[in-house]
Chains A and B, each alone.
Chain A
Amino acid sequence: MSVFVQYLVNGLTIGSFYALVALGYTMIYGIIRLINFAHGDLFMVGAFAGWFVVGIAAGMHLPVAVQLLLALLIAMLAVGLLAMGIERVAYQPLLKASRLSILITALGVSLALENGAMIAFGAGFDTFPPNILPLSGFQFLGAQVGDVQLAMFVLSVVLMVGLYLFVQYTPVGTAMRALSFDQDAARLMGINVEGVVLITFLLGGSLAAASGVMMGLYYTQINFMMGFLMGLRAFTAAVLGGIGNIPGAMVGGLLIGVLQSLAAGYISSQWQDVIVFAVLILVLVFKPTGIFGERVVERM
């Protein structure tokens, strides 16, 4: 029992990282029908941005809490802006072209980000300063829960709830939902569709960066390829929840995290991705609309 709870706790922690990335996939798919293959790499850039800021802030002997807060905020802002820039330069000119053009462009952006990070930060692993995070924790149903795990989980949930409230209750959020359904009708409401798409990328990029900083701190090591697997797992999470559906991405992320943790614990960590991607295949075969998926109206 206690072992199971331990796997569950670990799974929910990494699952919340997946959920943050999955949200970006699902929002971007929801409004421009693009599987943004570069989204996992934004997560990686976020991790590096956070690492970079921590390095500078540590050199200035700022308190650890301030270092972490700065790392999180600056990484979120920087990657949000980067995501906007990518959308404006690489995707927006192709929105009226065939789906395949923009999909291939996304793959190109992914490669550019990965190789750019390799040139900038090297091909090896970079590490956050050791012991930057407290090792304290508490017992819960026989499992050891780190204060850091709890804090990261809570922060993820706060970000997710914030996003959900934004999308449900603000005019811009309502505009997002509207234009995901009918772009022309949205334009006739006076909605600047290009502007709202940019805001979506800003939000998606920031959430991916938050996830990257937390994951980097959690595992302490970061690498230019870390976005690749994350991208695939988060994509699986988004599909599992029902692509285009925001609560679906949250639940899908947590489920994938837990599944991966249980698979690693009870079977073998070498099998965890086999099982995760088997889930992707099963969902696509038996319930392509995912857990929360509605009937997908295919347009164009």
Chain B
Amino acid sequence: MALLEVQDLHTFYGSIEALRGLSFTVEEGEIVALLGSNGAGKTTTLRSISGLERPRSGAIRFLGRDISHMPAHRIVQLGLGHVPEGRRIFVNLSVEENLMLGGYLLRRTPREVQARRDEVFERLPRLLERRHQLAGTLSGGEQQMLAIGRALITRPRLLALDEPSMGLAPILVQSIFQIIAQIRKGGTAILLVEQNARQALRLADRGYVLETGSIVLADTAKALAENRRVQAAYLGGEPEVAL
């Protein structure tokens, strides 16, 4: 049984059909990349999975349960984390408060929340230095780390990441991708939406290519990186990221 199984998913924004019968799977412990141009439906896919958008039809099974009609806060509880596009940290709260909210579901066991917060600090020491600062004063890279750290407090089985490298300097892109690799080592599966297709395919095990709300290609990451169509559309004009 796949960890996440999406079947014939249709999601609408008003009368616009953003997802047109999407199907894909994510297995335990793997990294799956979703590629596609702007407006292809990548973000809508993640928002539908995590319950922020209500799909009109289709099934989303996580750990064997249909979650397509479950409220977002219960989906988090099942172990599906989502770091949304644009990070969406609470800039009016401190770094520490942001992390504590990541542990909101564990609020009746504050010691556990503190222990997990300390784990996040250990993994992302920059956050420890800035724990009392307002999150809005962090740099872009630090904000992304906070957004990821906040989602890790619940120890999700699957973490959906929406454009984690967006707007970051190349050196920071590298460290974000390293963090993602580490998270997978810890046993968390990752569903990665990324504009930086080259990097994403280097890290991922498998990938799907979306066009106007449907999957047009599905293969291993290696095969996708060598696919001519993918190269032309998503890897072609992009300069190699300097290391």
Partner of B77, one of A178, A184, A190: A190
Contacts A171-B107, A184-B88 given; does A189 touch B93 at CB 8 Å: no
Docked-complex contact A185 and B89, CB < 8 angstroms: yes
CA distance A177 to B84 in the complex (A): 19
Docked-complex contact B50 and A178, CB < 8 angstroms: no
Docked-complex contact B72 and A178, CB < 8 angstroms: no
Task: Determine whether A193 belongs to the interface, using a CB cutoff of 8 Å to chain B.
Answer: yes
Task: Determine whether A188 belongs to the interface, using a CB cutoff of 8 Å to chain B.
Answer: yes
Docked-complex contact B100 and A190, CB < 8 angstroms: no
Docked-complex contact B105 and A190, CB < 8 angstroms: yes
- Interfacial chain B residues near A182, Cβ < 8 Å: 88, 90
**Distance from A72 Cβ to chain B, minimum over Cβ atoms (Å):** 29
Docked-complex contact A184 and B52, CB < 8 angstroms: yes
Task: Determine whether A187 belongs to the interface, using a CB cutoff of 8 Å to chain B.
Answer: yes
Within 8 A of A (CB), among B104-149: 104-105, 107
Within 8 A of B (CB), among A173-214: 174-175, 177-178, 181-182, 184-193
Which partner residue on chain A sits nearest B100 by CB separation? Answer: A174
CA distance A159 to B93 in the complex (A): 24
Partner of A177, one of B51, B52, B92, B102: B92
CA distance A174 to B101 in the complex (A): 7
Chain A interfacial residues counted at CB < 8 A: 18
Docked-complex contact A181 and B102, CB < 8 angstroms: no
**Distance from B128 Cβ to chain A, minimum over Cβ atoms (Å):** 19
Docked-complex contact A188 and B91, CB < 8 angstroms: no
Task: Determine whether B71 belongs to the interface, using a CB cutoff of 8 Å to chain A.
Answer: yes
Within 8 A of A (CB), among B35-52: 50-52
- Interfacial chain B residues near A185, Cβ < 8 Å: 84, 88-90
Docked-complex contact B76 and A178, CB < 8 angstroms: no
Docked-complex contact A192 and B52, CB < 8 angstroms: no
Docked-complex contact B84 and A188, CB < 8 angstroms: yes
Partner of B93, one of A172, A174, A188, A191: A174
Interface string of B61-95 (1 = CB under 8 A from A): 00000000001110011000110100011111100
- Interfacial chain B residues near A193, Cβ < 8 Å: 73
- Interfacial chain B residues near A190, Cβ < 8 Å: 73, 76-77, 104-105, 154
- Interfacial chain A residues near B88, Cβ < 8 Å: 182, 184-185, 188
Docked-complex contact A174 and B51, CB < 8 angstroms: no
**Distance from B226 Cβ to chain A, minimum over Cβ atoms (Å):** 35
Docked-complex contact B90 and A178, CB < 8 angstroms: yes
Task: Determine whether B215 belongs to the interface, using a CB cutoff of 8 Å to chain A.
Answer: no
**Distance from A227 Cβ to chain B, minimum over Cβ atoms (Å):** 32
**Distance from A182 Cβ to chain B, minimum over Cβ atoms (Å):** 6
Task: Determine whether B150 belongs to the interface, using a CB cutoff of 8 Å to chain A.
Answer: yes
**Distance from A181 Cβ to chain B, minimum over Cβ atoms (Å):** 5
Which partner residue on chain B sits nearest A195 by CB separation? Answer: B73
Docked-complex contact B92 and A187, CB < 8 angstroms: no
Known A-B contacts: A188-B88, A190-B77. Give 18 more (CB < 8 A): A171-B100, A172-B107, A174-B100, A177-B92, A177-B93, A181-B92, A181-B93, A184-B72, A184-B88, A185-B88, A187-B52, A187-B71, A187-B72, A188-B81, A189-B73, A189-B105, A190-B73, A190-B105
Chain A residues in the interface with B (C-beta under 8 A): 171-172, 174-175, 177-178, 181-182, 184-193
Can you give 27 contacting A-B residue pairs, CB < 8 Å? A172-B107, A174-B100, A175-B104, A178-B90, A178-B97, A178-B101, A181-B93, A182-B90, A184-B52, A184-B88, A185-B89, A185-B90, A186-B101, A187-B52, A187-B72, A187-B76, A188-B50, A188-B52, A188-B76, A188-B82, A188-B84, A188-B88, A189-B101, A189-B150, A190-B73, A190-B77, A193-B73
- Return the 10 tightest CB-CB contacts between A and B, nearest first: A187-B72, A171-B107, A185-B88, A190-B76, A190-B105, A189-B101, A190-B73, A192-B73, A178-B90, A189-B104
